[in-house]
Amino acid sequence: MATREEGAEAWYHRGQALCSTRNYNKATVCYDKALELSPDDPVLWRRKGFALLKADRYNEALACFDQALAIDPEDATAWQRKGYVLARLGRNEDAIACCEKALTLDPHHILAWQSRGWVLGAMCRYDEAVDCYEAILEIDPDRGSAAWHRERMHERRNLEALASEIREAERFVEVPACIRDVVPERDYANVGLARAVLRELAGQAERAAVQRP
C-alpha cells in the first residue's frame, strides 16, 4: 500500500478540520488534492466518501467507498459506510450485506451493528434490529443510544402486533375506537393496555359463541 506523501497529509488534515466544522463540500476539495498526490490511499478515499455522504451526495460517496474497498477489501469501516449510503439510496438488502461483511471483519464494530439495526428497523424487522442493539450493549453496556433504540424497536414491534390483532378481532367483534386509535396515534404508552383489553373482548366474544345454542 502506498505511503501518504507529506503534501497529501497536509491536505488530509485540512479536510478533517473542515469536516469537524461541517463544511463537507469544501472538505471534499481537500481530499481531492490529497488524492492527486496519494491516489492509492484507501483512507483518503474513505474520508472523501464520508464527507460526500454528509453532504447528501450519496452516489459520489458510494463510488469513493468502492474505490477504498478496491484498494483495501478488509476495511470494516469502509464496508459499514458503504452499507449506510446504500441504505440512504433505498438499497436495504445490499446495505445489510455490507454491514454483515464489516462485522465479519470486526465483530466489535459498533457502527456496523448500529447501521444494521437502523436498516432492519426501517424494514420493520424489529426482532433482528433489537438483536443488533443488544450486541452493541454487550460491547459497551454504557451506550445509552443503543438502549434507547432497543426500546424503540420493542415499541414498534408491539404496535405492529396490536395492529395485526385489531385486524383479526374486527372479524368478529366491534373494536372500540379507543383501542383502534392507539395505532395511528402511535400511543406507545397504551399499547400493552390496548392489547390486554382487546384479548379480553375477543375472549368474551369467543365464549359467547360457544354458549350460543
Can you give the pLDDT at residue 34?
94
What one-character-per-residue DSSP string does 24-58 give? HHHHHHHHHHHHHH-TT-HHHHHHHHHHHHHTT-H
pLDDT for residue 149 is more than 80 = yes
Give the pLDDT confidence of 18-63 residue by residue, as tens digits: 999 999 999 999 999 999 999 999 999 999 999 999 999 999 999 9
Can you give the pLDDT at residue 1?
42
Can you give the pLDDT at residue 201?
85
Give the pLDDT confidence of 89-113 residue by residue, as tens digits: 999 999 999 999 999 999 999 999 9
All cell numbers assigned to 210: 360457544
Rounded to whole angstroms, the Cα distance separating 3 from 1 reads: 7
Give the pLDDT confidence of 162-180 residue by residue, as tens digits: 999 899 888 888 888 989 8
| Residue 122: φ, ψ to 5° | -65, -25
CATH of domain 1-73: 1.25.40.10
Can you give the pLDDT at residue 7?
87
Alpha helical stretches, state H, 106-143? 110-122, 126-139
Can you give the pLDDT at residue 172?
81
Using an 8 Å Cβ cutoff, are 153 and 135 in contact? Answer: no
Give the pLDDT confidence of 186-199 residue by residue, as tens digits: 988 889 898 898 88
Can you give the pLDDT at residue 156?
92
Question: One fold for both 1-73 and 76-142?
Answer: yes
Can you give the pLDDT at residue 134?
96
| pLDDT band per the 50, 70, 90 thresholds, residue 2 | very low
All cell numbers assigned to 100: 454483515
Q: What is the mean pLDDT of residues 7-20?
A: 92
Q: Which amino acid is at 210?
A: V
Rounded to whole angstroms, the Cα distance separating 12 from 36 reads: 11
All cell numbers assigned to 37: 498526490
Ordered by start, the domain boundaries in the chain are 1-73, 76-142, 159-213
Rounded to whole angstroms, the Cα distance separating 116 from 102 reads: 10
Architecture of domain 76-142: Alpha Horseshoe (1.25)
Nearest-Å Rg of the Cα atoms of the chain is: 24
What one-character-per-residue DSSP string does 149-192 give? HHHHHHHHHHHHHHHHHHHHHTTTS---HHHHTTTTTT-GGGHH
**Mean pLDDT score across all residues of the chain:** 91
Q: What percentage of the chain carries pLDDT values higher than 90?
A: 75
| pTM > 0.85: yes or no | no
| Residue 173: φ, ψ to 5° | -140, 160
